[in-house]
Amino acid sequence: MLEPSPQIIARTQQLRKQLQEAGYAYYVLDAPIMEDAIYDQLYRELQDIETQYPALRVADSPTQRVGDKPASQFTSVKHNIPLYSLENAFNIEELKKWQERWQRQIEKLDPFAYVCELKIDGSALALTYEDGILVRGTTRGDGITGEEITQNVKTIRSIPLRLNLENPPPRVEVRGEAFLGLEVFERINREREKAGEALFANPRNAAAGTLRQLDSRIVAQRHLDFFAYTLHIPSLAEQRASEESVETGLMASIQSQDSGNTHSQWDALESLQKMGFKVNPNRKLCPSLQEVAEYYDYWDTKRRQLPYLTDGVVVKLNAFGLQKQLGFTQKFPRWAIALKYPAEEAPTLVESITVQVGRTGALTPVAELKPVQLAGTTVSRATLHNRDRISELNLHIGDTVIVRKAGEIIPEVVRVLPNLRPPDAQPFQMPTHCPVCGSEVVREPGEAVTRCINASCDAIVRGSLIHWASRDALDINGLGEKLVSQMVDKGLVHSVADLYDLTLEQLLSLERMGQKLAEKLISAIAQSKTQPWHRVLYGLGIRHIGSVNAQTLAQQFPNVEQLSAASAAKIEGIYGIGPEIAQAVAQWFQVPANQTLIERLKAVGLQLAATASTSSPTTGQLTGKTFVITGTLPTLKRDEAKALIQNAGGKVTSSISAKTDYLVVGAEAGSKLEKAEKFGITQLNESQLLELLQIS
**DSSP per-residue codes, 535-599:** HHHHHTT-TT--HHHHHHHHHHS-BHHHHHH--HHHHHTSTT--HHHHHHHHHHHHSHHHHHHHH
Task: Flag whether 340 is marked binding.
Answer: yes
Residue 694 in this model has a pLDDT that exceeds 90: no
Give the pLDDT band (50/70/90) at residue 198.
low
Q: Which of 266, 82, 40, 291 minimizes the C-alpha distance to 173?
A: 82
Task: Flag whether 38 is marked binding.
Answer: yes
Q: What is the pLDDT of residue 253?
A: 38
Q: What is the pLDDT of residue 475?
A: 92
Q: What is the pLDDT of residue 619?
A: 57
| Active-site annotation, residues | 119
Task: Flag whether 316 is marked binding.
Answer: yes
Question: Which one has a higher pLDDT value, 309 or 448?
Answer: 309
Give the pLDDT band (50/70/90) at residue 208.
confident
Global pTM?
0.47
Which range, 20-29, 40-49, 108-117, has the best average confidence (pLDDT)? 108-117
Task: Flag whether 116 is marked binding.
Answer: no
Task: Flag whether 177 is marked binding.
Answer: yes
Which range, 236-250, 377-391, 665-679, has the best average confidence (pLDDT)? 377-391
Q: What is the pLDDT of residue 235?
A: 59
Task: Flag whether 86 is marked binding.
Answer: yes
Question: Which one has a higher pLDDT value, 530 or 195?
Answer: 530
Mean pLDDT is lowest, of 217-231, 389-403, 669-683, for: 669-683
Task: Flag whether 96 is marked binding.
Answer: no
Task: Flag whether 117 is marked binding.
Answer: yes
Beta partners for 616? Answer: none
Q: What is the pLDDT of residue 669?
A: 75
Residue 145 in this model has a pLDDT that exceeds 70: yes
pLDDT, tens only, 309-367: 888 999 999 999 999 999 887 678 999 999 988 767 788 999 999 999 988 888 999 99
Give the pLDDT band (50/70/90) at residue 68.
very low
pLDDT, tens only, 500-534: 999 999 999 999 899 999 999 999 999 999 999 99
Q: What is the pLDDT of residue 368?
A: 95
Query: What number is the average pLDDT over the span 163-191?
Result: 90
Cβ atoms of 189 and 200 closer than 8 Å? yes
Q: What is the pLDDT of residue 416?
A: 93
Give the pLDDT band (50/70/90) at residue 662.
very high
Question: Which one has a higher pLDDT value, 379 or 68?
Answer: 379
Q: How long a stretch of residues is the chain?
A: 696
The b-or-e profile of 377-413 (16+ CB within 10 A means b, else e) is bebeebbbbbbeebeebebbbbbbbbbbbeebeebbb
Say whether 400 sits in a helix, a strand or coil.
Answer: strand
Task: Flag whether 452 is marked binding.
Answer: yes
Amino acid code (one letter) for 118:
L
Task: Flag whether 30 is marked binding.
Answer: no
Q: What is the pLDDT of residue 92?
A: 92
Q: What is the pLDDT of residue 575?
A: 66
Residue 74 in this model has a pLDDT that exceeds 80: no
| Non-local CB neighbours of 185 within 8 Å, separated by 6+ positions | 200, 202, 203, 206
Task: Flag whether 387 is marked binding.
Answer: no
Residue 73 in this model has a pLDDT that exceeds 80: no
Beta partners for 413? Answer: 403
Averaged confidence pLDDT in the chain: 84
Give the pLDDT band (50/70/90) at residue 51.
confident
Task: Flag whether 456 is marked binding.
Answer: no
Residue 237 in this model has a pLDDT that exceeds 50: no
